[in-house]
A and B are shown apart, each in its own frame.
Chain A
Amino acid sequence: MGLGAIILPLAQGGDGFVRDPAEASTECVAKNDTVCIGWALENIDRYVTPTLEHLVLVVVSVLAGFAIAFAMALISHRRRWLIPAFTAGTGVLYTVPSIALFLLLLPITGRGTLTAIVALTLYTLQILYRNNVTGLANVPEATKDSGRGMGMTDRQLLWRVELPLAVPEIIAGLRIATVSTVAIATLAVFAGAGGLGAEIYNDLTFKTGIVVAGGIAVAMAILFDVVLVGLQSRLAGWRKAHEAGAGDAGRFAGALARLRGAHS
């Protein structure tokens, strides 16, 4: 059984072929050897619903994935023996090909958005869990020791010290997971969940359609990334001080400069 035999039954239920006879009358579209900007501008309306569908798929999957991965990281934080099992488990999920996962989920969740969201959520776990754990593990021992030594309970230490310090790493994970989910969500069409993938796979031979849908996906990925970078600098503004903070070399150079100033 070839790939087409799997994909085609899954993909049916879309809007049908893009180039209906009326539109195909445009010369550019008929030739289909370049991107037809005119066609794209005329047909931009047809991308609104797929874009919104795509947005929902990404946002819901990443949020659900983050909630699960965060809970897993907290559970394994004080039970470190769980970490290898959790890492392996999420890793195995990540290696299952997405089309196969959609098929496996069909009997349980049926065709539609839910299947796509479940699959996309499972895919985010590997990256999100790993980064959450790394972030928590990278909190310096001395920082935790001084927190505990001043009388913080485990819970206070976690929420006041460990998690805030893990934020850069946690957000780095969110950035990777979000961008990759934007990409993988184009396959959600095979689960019958629509999204930008519908516009791509409806007619794999139509160059303009692929470029416009793909372009929207890339723009969406960039937009998410910008938002997350903004969130990071809001939540971890101290890092700027940390990075710009005079390292020993910097201080030494500063002291030298002052000395020179004093002698000149």
Chain B
Amino acid sequence: MEGRSAVNSGGGEAVSVEFREATKRYPGAERPAVDGLSFDVPAGEICVIVGPSGCGKTTAMRMVNRMVEISDGDILVGGSSVRDRSPSELRREIGYVIQQIGLFPHRTIADNIATVPSLVGWDRERARERARELLELIGLDPEMGERYPAQLSGGQQQRVGVARALAANPGVMLMDEPFGAVDPINRERLQNEFLRLQAEIRKTILFVTHDVDEAIKMGDRIAVLREGGILAQYATPAELLMAPADAFVEDFVGADRALKRLALMRVSDIDLWEAPLAFVGQASSEIRAKLAGAEVPYALAVDSERRPLGWLSKVDLGQDTVPSRPDTDATPTLELDDVMRDALSDLLQAETRYAPVVDGEGRIAGVLSVEIISEFLTSDEALTDEHGAAERPLG
């Protein structure tokens, strides 16, 4: 698509963000709001800053574009100190999205998106072209550019907020609870859309949330802050779930962290069971023989390409040969790429214990059962490195 290629052109390479003992003290406050924060966010990654309310996560994020002045220490964006830059020039190079979105109600969507381009002196035609391109990128009709923010739904406004932050192709984006005000269903959709978008644009993103599930879902890395703006742990989501640094992080991540790990796994990450396969037209007696002692006590009818057709019932097996239309169809059918948590929810929703898993070509790869997942959850494997020894038993 033409718009897509242009989005990546015109500079704006993602750059790293480095916190160097960054500290914020407010006059009159006993303790710093952000205390000696040090961590590096590599270029092109999403770093989620998460923590309980009042832990200074938003303050920490706002220090990057100097919406909050740094008291001590430093923050480097693309290797150079933000303290040496003029705040307004610095901010024009850093995308900014807040929970309340803050679209300008008196400007059209296109003009809203063109805010930073016009501040940095793009001509009107180029800015409008850019707005059209970004509307397409976020999946809105470019015609919507002529509307006013109040004429859009909350989810659409939030997308426009992201498009506006991307307009001048910043290397870094700051996002403060960007999906916090959206209802849970739309939030999930916006999160997924944003992850797809990020796969394309590869910006360096600092993302603030109080929701640990959102942090685990969105983050390449997660910085957990405790009260007083102190870094409790900086790790990848899997590390955070497997090995919380201390009791605070463990408590914050939640007792259900094993369950949360399911959100980070795909069906292909787990050993699947095998069901006796019954090719259409095969003699039923052979299948009945195979069923004895099989891991899955039902036979799965497949076509000649090994694509699942359905589960065979006793009635089906009473016939001479395997029918092409078994009594029970093969729903839900899962894919190897499916996220484990979604797979579990599909199983539970269908009130079935077994679901065939297919590969990219739709051919049977194995069977996922509720038992496999529950065994995984109750094993130490859920909480430790797959190949390492158990470090902490599930309490």
**Contact residues of B with A, CB < 8 Å?**
65, 67, 87-93, 96, 98, 100-107, 115-116, 119, 147-151, 153, 161, 164-165, 174
Contact = CB atoms under 8 A, between A and B. Distances in A.
Given A143-B105, A164-B106, A148 B91 contact: yes
A105 interface: no
Interface string A220-264: 000000000000000010100111111000010000000000000
A103 B140 CA distance: 66
10 contacts: A149-B91, A151-B116, A161-B104, A164-B106, A165-B106, A236-B106, A238-B105, A241-B151, A242-B150, A243-B150
A241 to B, nearest CB: 4
A149 B104 CA distance: 13
Main secondary structure, interface of A, reads helix
A149 B89 contact: no
A153 interface: yes
B131 to A, nearest CB: 14
A43 interface: no
A147 B65 CA distance: 13
Nearest to B112: A146
Given A149-B67, A151-B91, A140 B102 contact: yes
Contacts of A167: 106
Contact of B92 (A151, A161, A165, A241): A151
A65 to B, nearest CB: 25
A49 interface: no
B102 A147 contact: yes
A13 B161 CA distance: 66
Contact of B102 (A143, A236, A244, A246): A143
A143 B106 CA distance: 11
B150 A241 contact: yes
A151 B88 contact: yes
Contacts of A243: 150
Given A149-B67, A241-B151, A142 B92 contact: no
Contacts of B119: 150-152, 156
Contact of B96 (A143, A146, A153, A165): A146
A149 B65 CA distance: 7
A165 B105 contact: yes
User: Lowest 10 A-B CB distances belong to which pairs?
Assistant: A146-B102, A245-B150, A142-B100, A151-B92, A151-B91, A241-B148, A149-B96, A142-B102, A242-B150, A238-B106
